[in-house]
Amino acid sequence: MLEKQLRNHPKMEKWRKDIFKRYNFSCDVCGSRGYLEAHHIRLFTDILNEFKKLNQGKTDEEIYRLALKYEPLWDSKNGICLCKNCHKITKITNIGKQITEKVRIVNITKAVIRDALTNKIKRIYITQNTIQLAGRNVVARRLANETTYTGILNYGVLLTSGPTETYRKLTASATYDDDVAKAYITWFFTATEVSGTFVQWRNYIDGTATSGSGQEWSRVDVNWAKSTSETLTVDCVYQITSG
């Protein structure tokens, strides 16, 4: 009841509109400009449940009033713009592992599995996590204009249960937008180069082809399945926030 009331509040409409605008009214996965939906990266239900726990003993009415002022529920950075189709695929495949600690650097990892022959999207996994201490240190040095620092985020690593490093690969592309403190990094895995069920995804700075090398920047628990007839694209967006 409470959740429904909140979801129907005009603040939710604003949340949605802010996201559409930020993604320039196109689907973040396939680029479609058709019917669009805003997807919660960290589930609204989870955030609300956590908030309810913090406010145990209060009436629903009080919680409703307080929830309207509870920033994480209305944070447009926790949203991604998807078309109806991609949203549906995401809902089916997301495991919804969520991180509750307060973050300063947010990493949104988006994995898209496509059929290698038809290129049709089969599964989409969207996960949000925080950046490891080592990664935060790197960003701090960059922001302090430390010109001697030349580290580069280069390797993406797939881990199978253990977690055990199984496959590492250089980035396919990396772009940085200093104005909005955002970085976009992409990795691409062909159909035949690797397959399996992966439980973790890690990024490394100054890595080499050797297993375990480099400085860990980001780590996220995932549940990605990939066969040898599917390709995998992993897009990571790193956003530095003041929160």
List of residues contacting Zn ion (CB under 5 A): 27, 29-30, 32, 83, 86
Q: What is the 3-state secondary structure (H, E, C) of 176-235?
A: EEHHHCEEEEEEEECCCCCCEEEEEEEEEECCCCCCCCCEEEEEEEEEEEECCCEEEEEE
Q: How far apart are CB 84 and Zn ion at their closest, in Å?
A: 8
Q: Which is nearer to Zn ion, 29 or 63 (CB)?
A: 29
Nearer to Zn ion, 6 or 111 (CB): 111
Nearer to Zn ion, 41 or 157 (CB): 41
Q: In terms of CB distance, is 29 or 153 closer to Zn ion?
A: 29
Least Å distance, CB 44 to Zn ion, is: 21
> Exposed/middle/buried for 157, CB within 10 Å: 0-12, 13-18, 19+?
buried
Could you tell me the two tokens for 32? 């479609």
Report in angstroms how near the CB of residue 25 gets to Zn ion at its nearest: 12
**Shortest distance, position 194 Cβ to Zn ion, whole Å:** 25
Q: In what order do the strands lie in the sheet with 215-226?
A: 164-170, 153-160, 196-205, 215-226
Closest CB to Zn ion among 27 and 126? 27
Nearest-Å Rg of the Cα atoms of the chain is: 19
Alpha carbon 56 to chain centroid distance?
30
Q: How far, in Å, CA of 26 to CA of 31, rounded?
A: 5
Q: Taking the complex as a whole, how short is the minimal distance between the CB of residue 100 and Zn ion, in angstroms?
A: 28
